[in-house]
Structure 1
């Protein structure tokens, strides 16, 4: 059943778009390129297991945790420009 300006499934479409946007944002934060043996921030050795698990890693666990705290989450709103873009 249509609900005002929103078509059938508008809420599900909004949720799907929001999830896809967030997945794209997180994937863009993953390390790329050649990794390092030592942390770029503090100079500590990056364990071999971490380098194997995350190819392209450039920070040790402690420095990565600090950087992750500084990252801000994306807005929960879908900014696709339609009337229903403010649905959550």
Structure 2
């Protein structure tokens, strides 16, 4: 393994799923200003819209909550293509 190519700030980080509130800890180099206290230990926290604990593929639920309005944007953008001029 080459020396000097790996990041120095590789540390435990809490990832929080905002759709269901689940939190898991993994190692990462991501920069974040927010922190969270879990079992008396303070971790930097990264907020995610979706993770494996809420994704329909992993949970078996077929409905996906569209928080960003992507489906509505798509429908309004491409609705005019079906109309004839």
**Higher helix proportion (structure 1 or 2):** 1
**Higher strand proportion (structure 1 or 2):** 2
- Please say whether Structure 1 and Structure 2 have the same fold, judged by a TM-score greater than 0.5: no
TM-score, with structure 2 as normaliser: 0.22
Higher relative contact order (CA 8 A, sep 6+): 1
